[in-house]
A and B are shown apart, each in its own frame.
Chain A
Amino acid sequence: MTNLFVKNKDIVVPGEELATGMDYLPGFGTYRDSDKIIANRLGLLSIDGRAIKVVPLSGKYVPKRGDVIIAQIKDITLNGWILDTNSAYSAMLQVKDAVSEYITKGADLTRYFNFGDYIVCKITQVTSQKLVDVTTKGPGLKKLQHGRIIKVIASKVPRVIGKQGSMIGMVKQATDCRIIVGQNGLVWVSGSPKDELLAVKTINKIGQESHISGLTDRIKAFLEKESGKKITAVVTE
């Protein structure tokens, strides 16, 4: 006997019974207890065919291979830099993954990245013990200058970016800011002070309201009202 106790897009809490029977499969954020599927995270339910998963609404960033993140230099070692990734784990950036020119032993690494600098980097490797390696070799990976850094909840990053970057595209268009969103929830915003403020306000608003439907339209209306510009790149949900 197969039964589904919840609807798509319901908010579920840990321990909540989602379904019984073997017709459904437990996905991310759920587990199976004999013939029941139980949620083990707080989040939004998503049913995709037979698979049931929970999309988290909160939680810290967990480093994942291939993610482009914004990280801060917190230490310098013999052969590289140690970065704060806004998660429980720091990342290691080796000299060979950062600089292409030849560097002699004992050279001053602060010439490239100094303490407190923010960089855009890509995670190349994560071990089971969560040792994280990153690289700054690749398109768009660099040290960040000027601008400001804000934080959003890591699980909301996909909503801040939007489908094919539609959401962040709207913000860029309305505010004339350059914006980079790291998968770890750090966002870099650079533009004139007034524009930066609007961008920050909008991004925070997206973070707070991301689980409520009609987000794109609401953000578009908000941006048009605040900036007085017409937003052309319309993408609806």
Chain B
Amino acid sequence: MMQKRLDGRKFDELRKIEAKVGIIPKADGSAMFRMGDTLAYAAVYGPRSLYPRFLQNPEKGILRCNYNMMPFAGCGERIRPGGNRRSKEISYVTEKALLPVVNLDDFPNAVVDVFIELPQTDAGTRCAGICAASMALADAGITMKDLVVAVSTGRIGDKLLVDLTYDEEAYKEESVADMPIAMLGRTGEITLLQLDGELTKEQIKKAIELGKKAGQKIYEIQTKALKEKYMVK
């Protein structure tokens, strides 16, 4: 049985987090979010006009997310650049995780584009991406009812833990499950819940509990980073 985590963290301890807002001056909003060795950049453009025209919705605006791991990210094995099945799925779930907070009624017929790029990855990329994207959306001045925080939870053997690294996700000695969660920062309502592996009902409940606690810490860091951009120096 696993007594200690591979990198010496406690089971409910997050990796070192760094967050910064407004790092891409040309974008309408942008943010960087780093969790250990996982690094995500998010840039937001818009609301801007949407073409081709058949995509437009006259009742409300559209949120478009694009998640991309850079070819050199990960283990160093070169990946074919551009989208693949996985990135398409993560773009989709990211969009669904962010949609509940964004007020789309503000911009009918228009679009807000969110681009998430990951230059370096060590598991938990969709969570880092969602954290960065929600900060970038706020920075872009989009009306949103809350910030979205995301954290991965999981299980190795019978131990539940948060914020898994790649080595933990790929742990061979014992069975592993991993469950990314995205939730609203203030209310804790869940906007994304995926599960890879097996968890019992009790374990899921506990994992969500752990995730919510960790999420609060991330929420504080996000809030601080957003305020820091405008602090008087």
Contacts and interface: CB of A to CB of B under 8 A. Distances in A.
Interface of A: 11, 13-17, 29, 31, 38, 40-44, 56-60, 62, 87-90, 128-130, 155, 211-213
B139 interface: yes
Interface in B9-58: 28-29, 46-49, 58
A40 B145 contact: yes
A224 B144 CA distance: 42
Contact of A56 (B48, B108, B141): B141
B227 A13 contact: yes
A13 B231 contact: no
Top-6 shortest CB links A-B: A59-B141, A15-B146, A88-B110, A58-B141, A88-B47, A15-B186
A192 B2 CA distance: 73
Nearest to A131: B109
Contacts of B223: 13, 16
Contacts of B231: 11
29 contacts: A13-B222, A13-B227, A14-B101, A14-B144, A14-B147, A15-B144, A15-B145, A15-B147, A15-B185, A17-B186, A29-B143, A38-B145, A38-B186, A40-B144, A41-B138, A41-B144, A42-B139, A42-B141, A42-B226, A57-B141, A58-B139, A59-B140, A89-B109, A89-B110, A128-B108, A129-B108, A129-B109, A130-B108, A211-B230
A13 B138 contact: yes
Interface of B: 28-29, 46-49, 58, 101, 103, 106-111, 138-147, 184-186, 222-223, 226-227, 230-232
Contacts of A38: 145-146, 186
A88 B141 contact: no
Contacts of A130: 107-110
A58 B29 CA distance: 8
Nearest to A58: B141
A40 B231 CA distance: 19
Given A57-B230, A60-B28, A14 B46 contact: no
A209 to B, nearest CB: 9
A26 B9 CA distance: 43
A59 B107 CA distance: 12
B138 A42 contact: yes
Contacts of A16: 186, 223
Contacts of A89: 49, 109-110
A41 B139 CA distance: 9
B141 A90 contact: no
A210 to B, nearest CB: 10
Contacts of A60: 28, 46-48, 140-141
A58 B140 contact: yes
Nearest to A130: B108
B227 A88 contact: no
Given A14-B147, A38-B146, A40-B145, 13 more contacts: A13-B147, A15-B101, A15-B146, A16-B223, A41-B143, A59-B141, A59-B142, A62-B106, A88-B47, A88-B48, A129-B58, A130-B107, A212-B232
Contacts of A15: 101, 144-147, 184-186
B32 to A, nearest CB: 16
Nearest to B134: A14
Nearest to A16: B223
Contacts of B108: 128-130
B201 to A, nearest CB: 30
A149 to B, nearest CB: 17
B233 to A, nearest CB: 8
B49 A90 contact: yes
A14 B230 contact: no
A128 B158 CA distance: 56
Contacts of B107: 88, 130
Nearest to A60: B47
